[in-house]
Structure 1
Amino acid sequence: MPAITASLVKELREKSGAGMMDCKKALTETDGDLDAAVDWLRTKGLATASKKSGRVAAEGLVAVSTNGTKGAIVEVNAETDFVGRNEDFQKLVSGIAEVAAEVGGDLDAIKAASFPGGSDTVEATLTNAIATIGENMNLRRAASVEVSNGVVSSYLHNAVTDGLGKIGILVALESEGDKDRLDVLGKQLAMHIAATSPESISVDDLDPELVEREKAVLSEQARESGKPEEIIEKMVQGRINKFYQEVVLLKQTFVVDGENTVEKAIELVAKEIGSPIKLTQMVRFAVGEGIEKEESDFAAEVAAAVGN
């Protein structure tokens, strides 16, 4: 058998578009025959999957998996919203969330782990799904949260089935109090976060650059009033406090009662259960957020397809 050289692997990658390890395996399986290796990759769906990898995947699903004091959330993207209704795709995303709950939020660790109920890794299972379903897919991000004593609660907005939706939230509450009452509060907080999309839990957690940019804008606006600098400083501080109320979770008005701040609502439940409550983590994933979607003229595409 000829030696499987780096240049041979590189040539196969260029011809097939498949990954390096897949190309190396294909060449090994075909005794270094380049054309046979291309066919081997095609039969496994690997070359096809790779060719789809350049297409924008901005749809898909978010999945959550919680188990008392631990929880994980993942976002898996596809090209069209239709795939989100595909039962095989739903099982794939749910399975990946289960893996994340076990191994944590590191993407490489998730991809290398065994997919539940199968012999393949998560990465191989995802590759096979691309070939089977016929769209580019991508495990875009994942996160896991854990508390030593308390609960991890979740909420899914626009849920398509149990544990799957378009917006997913995890909330971690540390407390020695009643776990059922904590979980009710956690779910309410998660629903609030889904609606308001706060930037941080507390003022201390807020990105300093974001605060400085806001102060700069507010200062310029205040100076246009022509007032003295000492008055401008007070105006800016007042507006910054209002800014905190808009973007900091604990400072926001709790959507559940419409009266108390989130911070005050947590304090009230803490009194109710007779134990302090600390909101330690929150994660909010919305499908496709931050992905630049390709704009297309659907009518033109249809016309081109029928030859007009």
Structure 2
Amino acid sequence: MAVTAAMVKELRERTGAGMVDCKNVLVDVDGNIERAIEVLREKGLAKAAKKAGRVAAEGLVKEAISSDKKQGAIVEVNSETDFVAKNDQFIKFVAQVANIVLENDLTTVEELKALPWPDDTSKTVGDILTEKISVIGENLTLRRFVKMSTNGTIVAYTHGGGKIVAMIDMAGEGPKVEEVGKNIAMQVAAANPQFISKEDVSEETIAKEKEILLTQALNENAIAAKPKPENIIEKMVEGRLGKELFKEICLLEQDYVKEPSLTVEKYVVQELKNKDAIRAFVRLETGEGIEKKSENFAEEVAKQING
């Protein structure tokens, strides 16, 4: 029987095994999918399918930067446990994937998974991921990646051994720019801003935050011993927007973590004489936004033992 692409796809979806392994086994068993599943299980290549339902919320984020510092990439690969995230084999895999992203123009994770693996071009990135799941024994997820390009300088900072990576696009070049960029990347990793400056914040965001602050202020005013007029409350809210909201979400407005007497903007101007030196930033944190399952450790061990 001729092996079709549809048959390979079905076998891969049912087993989680690599595309090449699925095709080869189907050829060996003359297209018998049920027998192919048995063969893959016998070879240990279908293990990944049993683990695919587990929540992978730990893992690593890793960066790669080109030698000329004009391009940078960050990838996040998740594992089930922090223990695996410290595994040398896993760390090497994530670093290799980061380099693959750096060297290719990609828009989706699926495109990344379909690329050939540099050490064995007969296999794809997705195939190698599936193999790692079988060998390591945990569900692993290639979750997301970002890539930056510039005519200035790309600088990155990694926190917590790969828990957080912040990457900055800085205007200009040279050791001073790299030093300031590294410090700004540390700021982004620590303070997690959403925008560079106040000008980047949308009117919609400001209006929503103003509404929240106004409601809070009016509620507080309603139970105050000496309530203030509503127009005074509105002016107070405007002041709180500048002091609280923008300082929280805007990088340039934040207190500089290494010298709190300065804002980030004042630090950048002091060092580089250019308030527009920070052109873009991105921050990835491992497991961010993933709902983690809370399980009894003894029960989890029992599950592992019982298969």
TM score, norm. by length of structure 2: 0.85
The answer to whether the Cα contact below 8 Å between 1:69 and 1:152 also exists between their aligned partners in 2 is: yes
Alpha-carbon distance change, 212 to 30 in structure 1, aligned in 2, over 3 angstroms: farther
**Structure 2: how far apart are the matches of 1:110 and 1:293?**
25
- Paired with 1:208 and 1:198, the residues of 2 have a C-alpha distance of 17
Q: Displacement, 1:174?
A: 1.5
2:154 maps to what in 1?
A: 152
Deviations 1:260-308 (A, max 9, x none): 111121111223xxx675311111111111110101122455578899x
What residue ranges of structure 1 are gaps of 5+ in the alignment? 160-164
**Residues 133-181 of structure 1: CA distance to partner in whole angstroms, max 9, x if unpaired?**
1111011110011111x2110111112xxxxx11111011022xx5111
Equivalent residues in 2 for 1:1-308 (5 A)?
A: 1=1, 4=4, 6=6, 12=11, 16=15, 26-42=25-41, 45-67=44-66, 68-104=69-105, 106=107, 107-119=109-121, 120-148=123-151, 150-159=152-161, 165-175=162-172, 178-206=173-201, 208-224=203-219, 225=221, 226-242=227-243, 243-271=245-273, 277-301=276-300
Which amino acid in structure 1 is aligned with residue 194 of structure 2? E
- In 2, the alpha carbon distance for the partners of 1:133 and 1:303 equals 18
CA contact (8 A) 1:203 1:248 kept: yes
Count residues with an aligned counterpart: 295
Using the alignment, how far apart are the partners of 1:19 and 1:130 within structure 2? 11
Could you tell me whether the CA contact under 8 Å between 1:45 and 1:128 is conserved in 2? no
Alignment correspondent of 2:224: none
Superposed CA RMSD: 2.8
Does the 8 Å contact 2:265/2:275 carry over to 1? Answer: no
**TM-score with structure 1 length normalisation?**
0.85
CA contact (8 A) 2:74 2:98 kept: yes
Q: 1:105 to 1:256 in 2, by over 3 A?
A: farther
1:57-114 deviations in Å (ceiling 9; x for gaps): 0111110111211111111101111112211111100000101111145323322223
Percent identity reads 43
- The alpha carbon displacement at 1:244 in A equals 0.4
